[in-house]
Structure 1
């Protein structure tokens, strides 16, 4: 039986608006105002809280970027958790694609670099947690993506086999994770990176979720 593991931020859902709002909350608390733009900085949002804090503080010319990132990362997580689903939306066709994969016999799960509790909260707020047989977050194991161990754990928790698994993602982190695990990656081009992800040479790519079931079948054949 094949197993399809999804990244969350920038792959299943556009979470950038709420992530950037949490970062800007931190910057306002520092007296710096809103340093990140929800549209222009969406790609950085998908690389996580520390990346957003680093970008904003560097942009502001702060004298102690690393120190402030360390101090404010917990503040960012709290602010994000308090307003986790204000702007976040599932990408068009995402859950229909998940349902189609399940109907075809595939197992599905999530492997994300979002802390597991926050990922679980978001998925429940969006009403889709029960659609995934596994959820592995940034802190589920001692390591996170691009280490392949979280992906392998997600496949295992979903009841699958790494010999018939793939990772759906949107960034170089996902590409590196899949490569390290020895499984195919499918990168989406509808995120902020657009067609630039093609330079990462994934085994496959999709521009809309209605393409996914056919792409997965092409990688593995019947589930």
Structure 2
């Protein structure tokens, strides 16, 4: 059975935490704030840029809503859109995507990262032509774990049997909410033990992914 395989991005296909960390420090040190550790920033990744910046502001006693917050968020998005120097693909990612495509799978991307930096990082790694549909965190009025972005990605891919691949609590919840099987990449940004996250299969290296997809029988979505 040929599947549509929909991926999360940050913590699943790319390790972008170093660039997110650097961008946050560029913005907040300019405001006179002490720098964040990577662990502080990474702990807020996963629910979109507005939530990330709001939590960073809150942790420093700065407004996390209103005009001042909006200016900080806009500056972060400006800095981060061009930040790819420290971001890397996880080992085996490109080969796994190409193998899935060669096997007849349609590939999609559903991320809470805003669409502009999403497309920029896909271009940076030469991956933009592998995905039949890309939904960013600002593509719809809602973000993951609401199922709408994931289901909209699948709709744009033509529907049919599908699997969602992600790394986090948000991704696991999104898959459950959408009624799709979930494959968990264990080396991303999750905070919860693997056994505590609902998933249909787990993998630590992308080399394993084509075999998992090939062996998986996913139910069709109406």
TM-score tier, shorter chain, comes to 0.7 to 0.9
TM-score by length of 1: 0.87
Paired residues of 2:49 and 2:114 also in contact (CA < 8 A): no
Could you tell me how far 1:170 is from its partner in structure 2?
1.0
TM-score by length of 2: 0.88
Moved more, 12-21 or 211-220: 211-220
Partners of 2:159 and 2:98 lie apart in 1 by 17
Structure with more helix by fraction: 1
Structure 2 counterpart of 1:79: 79
Q: Name the CA shift for 1:130/1:26 in 2 (closer, same or farther; >3 Å).
A: same
Provide structure 1 residue ranges, at least 5 long, that are not aligned to the other structure: none
Q: 2:167 aligns with which of 150, 166, 170?
A: 170
Structure 1 counterpart of 2:178: 181
Residues 24-71 of structure 1 show CA distances to partners (whole Å, capped at 9, x for unaligned) of 12211211131x2225642423443334334433433x1534445433
Could you tell me how far 1:96 is from its partner in structure 2?
0.8
Structure 2 counterpart of 1:16: 17
Paired residues of 1:8 and 1:112 also in contact (CA < 8 A): yes
1:219 paired to 2:219 = no
Partners of 2:153 and 2:87 lie apart in 1 by 23
Q: Once superposed, what is the RMSD of the aligned Cα atoms?
A: 2.0
Partners of 2:125 and 2:12 lie apart in 1 by 15
Paired residues of 1:171 and 1:197 also in contact (CA < 8 A): no
Count the aligned residue pairs: 216
